[in-house]
Amino acid sequence: MMDARITQDDVIYFVVTDRFFGQNKKDVSPSDTTIHGGTLDGIIEKLDYLTELGVTAVWVTPVYENILKSGTSDPYHYYWTQDFERMDARLLDGTHLPTATDMGTFAEFVKLCDGKDIKVVLDMVVNHAGYGAQSRFDSTWFNVGGSGDIKGELAGLPDFNHDNPEVLDYFINNIEDWVVKGQVTNIRMDTVKHVERKFWHYFKSQVRGEHPQVCLIGEVLFEGKGDVGKLLEYQNYHDFDSTFDFPLCTALRSTLIFDESLCDWLARRRVHDDEPAGILDHDNAFKGGYRNANRLVTLLDNHDLERRIMSHARTKHTGDGAGLDWAIRVTKLCLGALFTVRGIPQLYYGTEIGLEGWKDGDDRDLRRDFPWQVIGNDNHADPQWRKEHEIYEWTRDLIHLRRSSPALKYGTTVTLWSDDLVYAFLRIASDDVALVIINNGYAKMPSPIHLTLNTQMIPQRVADAVAGGLKHWKTGQPLTVQNGEVLVTVDAKSIDIFC
């Protein structure tokens, strides 16, 4: 039986359930804020697509019973809860799952995914209820007029006060019910930084104590280069298994699409300790970094950020023809980096086909319907859709490469070269080694870069492995090594991987 917890073996695929697939799903504009009809049954229907892509886990948005409507918007995202103890009937269409809204139906969903070797991550909310749902709870359970990250209302939603022991007790027991009755093993916890810190003490004491198999992934939305210290405390002190690596997300976008310096954002060669640190330089716990950076969930985009990664690329590279070609190229470069750096990669639904989306006053366009018309009967993007097909095939190949490579899944990272335009690094896991070189310039390297295999940084056996057997992941071309130096020439805005 497979380990149901999220591990470094996994590639997570994030689905906004209502926008993905369902037998009765409506065909409407992205600007429409009604419920479109995507269901958990629809995800079951598309598990073969997910397994062909190569992902190993599906993260679904919340399944609680939600309010009917707020203003002109339905709760299509299902973050506006009115009953934390039942599922929402609108997420079930009866084609694969029971229509009963008790937690046991979610357990059936987990079982069917498990049958396809797909793990499940459930999005959970403890911070707030849906608009107008206060009347369903004790009036003393809510913060009133709070301020700051902890007690401030999020988008005007009724904000639970977890310093109240009744609130703490309710949500700890509610989570345990979902774990036992709903067979939930992996939790993506929403809006973590808005929840009073006392809650996480109770969570790690009670939930983790009684259910050590549960994996907790926290959404702590700090995105900046200087925010790593605030982000890492949830892993280091609150005992989260993982958080989302939003600073790395910002770094990859800022460099690979918007051309900022790789060494300023990603990593230095650590020639001396006074060098300004890049994001990956915070991976050392002995220097105040993450307890285990390899457990971070890495990403390029999601349902809350300003734009999907392809829309960022189109912002930089406009127009058809050459503009679209460059946008495809830099999107592929971003994906290449995502699947070769440390961490557990998370893919937002549609990113594998270059789906676009923008935040424009609200999030609806970021959560467009998945365009199933571009996917053929073989579960690949049809070649008639050039952009979608090219990005899909690239992403699928990257996922399969990562899953087959211990170095890319588990390896220690050693930076060999870092400057404004080039970043080269090794991933080393026992006898498995991968070499990755990024050229972020707009021209092919005019001559080969020389990467010294410094045996003061790496053991001789690793230098021998690099010199003796690495091949290009696409072409099979052997890596050129002369006199202890790797010689490689990388095309413009491209990533080369040797393993």
For the record, the structure tokens of 123 come out as 């999005």
Same domain? 215 vs 344: yes
Measure the CA–CA gap between 434 and 409, rounded to whole angstroms: 10
Same domain? 400 vs 419: no
Domain ends where: 410, 428, 462? Answer: 410
- The backbone torsions φ and ψ at residue 472, rounded to the nearest 5 degrees and listed phi first, read -65, 135
Q: Tens of pLDDT along 205-259?
A: 999 999 999 999 999 999 998 899 889 889 888 989 999 999 999 999 999 999 9
Q: What is the CATH number of the domain that holds 30?
A: 3.20.20.80
Same domain? 226 vs 174: yes
Same domain? 130 vs 271: yes
- Name the pairing type of β-strands 119-124 and 186-189: parallel
pTM: 0.97
Query: What domain count does the chain have?
Result: 2
For the record, the structure tokens of 253 come out as 């976008």
Same domain? 29 vs 122: yes
Q: Tens of pLDDT along 158-205?
A: 999 999 999 999 999 999 999 999 999 999 999 999 999 999 999 999
pLDDT at 153 over 70: no
For the record, the structure tokens of 242 come out as 């993982």
- Name the pairing type of β-strands 480-482 and 215-218: unpaired
pLDDT at 286 over 90: no
Same domain? 365 vs 493: no
Is residue 302 in some structural domain? Answer: yes
Is residue 275 in some structural domain? Answer: yes
Provide the β-strand partners of residue 434.
Answer: 427
Same domain? 224 vs 317: yes
Domain ends where: 410, 439, 465? Answer: 410
Q: What is the pLDDT of residue 270?
A: 55
Q: What is the CATH number of the domain that holds 449?
A: 2.60.40.1180
Is residue 224 in some structural domain? Answer: yes
Is residue 360 in some structural domain? Answer: yes
Query: Sign of dihedral through CA atoms 229, 231, 237, 240?
Result: negative
Same domain? 377 vs 468: no
- Is residue 45 a contact partner of residue 95, using CB atoms and an 8 Å limit? yes
Domain ends where: 410, 432, 461? Answer: 410
Is residue 1 in some structural domain? Answer: no
Q: Tens of pLDDT along 81-110?
A: 999 999 999 999 999 999 999 999 999 999
- The backbone torsions φ and ψ at residue 373, rounded to the nearest 5 degrees and listed phi first, read -65, -20
- Is residue 435 a contact partner of residue 497, using CB atoms and an 8 Å limit? yes
| Placement of tokens 């309010």 in the chain | 67
Is residue 3 in some structural domain? Answer: no
pLDDT at 148 over 70: no
Strand order in the sheet with 449-452: 449-452, 485-488, 480-482
Same domain? 305 vs 450: no
Same domain? 314 vs 421: no
- Is residue 13 a contact partner of residue 57, using CB atoms and an 8 Å limit? yes
Same domain? 337 vs 296: yes
Is residue 7 in some structural domain? Answer: no
pLDDT at 147 over 50: no
pLDDT at 146 over 80: no
Same domain? 192 vs 58: yes
Is residue 5 in some structural domain? Answer: no
- Is residue 251 a contact partner of residue 266, using CB atoms and an 8 Å limit? yes
Structural domain containing residue 363: 12-410
Average pLDDT of the residues in 34-46: 98
Q: Tens of pLDDT along 430-461?
A: 989 999 999 999 999 999 999 999 998 899 99
Average pLDDT of the residues in 282-311: 93
